[in-house]
């Protein structure tokens, strides 16, 4: 989809939804490993009838995997503001025989019920910084004691020279997955001022300021990371 000249900023419309799963695997290094780690650590904190939210669930891959691997009945809720994404998520859930409630709305318009696990993979980076911190506070408040927040983000390196080296290595990865120089440049242009990544330290500070007791990195590859934050009673 990035082989044509960009005429608008990036958005999660039907064009993106139709190729999204393939795009993730070609654009995010070790995406399947990240998904597996997210699932395994989420399952460590879940019990019978616990509620799980996926904020920015896209095509619901994470919730489907959790449902397939859990030995418990869970209340799974996927939230996304993209109608096109949720249409495909619903089709996938039906195909896999998984019961998921999907809510199409802005995350800030939804009152999160008490839950044990909240997941947000590559979603926070699309939220403006001030709003992002408000969302983390909202997530913390809705989690039960002993609950966890697991999220994945593209990150930046605070050392500018090293950050450029990280980006160059990432572009090499994308080329190895079949992206052309033009497609890489077009996607970068489409995401400019839409995707705003934080550094590791900025993510950690934001989470701890919200009240979480623990923050750790589950997985990191260059400028991509998966993190877990625990709310202890």
Cα distance between residue 51 and residue 76, in whole Å:
6
Q: pLDDT (tens digit, 9 = 90+) per residue, 141-183?
A: 999 999 999 999 999 999 999 999 999 999 999 999 888 887 8
**pLDDT band for position 17 (cuts 50, 70, 90):** very low
Q: What pLDDT, in 10s, does the model give residues 37-57? A: 999 999 999 999 999 999 999
Domains of the chain: 14-230 (3.40.50.150)
Is the predicted pLDDT of residue 28 greater than 60, yes or no?
A: yes
Instruction: Report DSSP letters for 117-162, one per residue.
Output: EEEEES-GGGS-HHHHHHHHHHHHHHEEEEEEEEEEEEEE-SSHHH
């Amino acid at each position: 989809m990035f082989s044509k000249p960009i005429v608008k900023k990036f958005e999660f419309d039907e064009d993106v939804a139709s190729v999204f799963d393939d795009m993730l695997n070609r654009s995010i290094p070790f995406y399947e490993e990240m998904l597996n780690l997210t699932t395994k650590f989420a399952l460590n904190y879940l019990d019978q009838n616990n509620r799980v939210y996926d904020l920015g669930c896209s095509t619901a891959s994470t919730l489907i995997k959790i449902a397939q691997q859990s030995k418990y009945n869970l209340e799974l809720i996927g939230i996304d503001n993209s109608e096109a994404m949720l249409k495909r998520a619903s089709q996938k859930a039906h195909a896999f025989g998984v019961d998921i409630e999907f809510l199409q709305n802005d995350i800030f318009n939804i009152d999160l019920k008490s839950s044990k696990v909240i997941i947000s993979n590559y979603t926070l980076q699309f939220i403006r910084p001030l709003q992002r911190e408000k969302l983390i506070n909202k997530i913390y408040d809705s989690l039960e004691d002993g609950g966890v927040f697991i999220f994945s983000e593209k990150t930046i390196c605070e050392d500018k020279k090293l950050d450029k080296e990280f980006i160059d290595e990432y572009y090499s990865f994308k080329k190895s997955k079949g992206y052309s120089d033009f497609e890489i440049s077009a996607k970068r242009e489409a995401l400019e001022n839409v995707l705003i990544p934080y550094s590791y330290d900025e993510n950690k500070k934001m989470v701890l300021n919200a009240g979480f007791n623990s923050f750790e990195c589950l997985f990191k590859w260059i400028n991509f990371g998966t993190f877990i934050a625990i709310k202890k009673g």
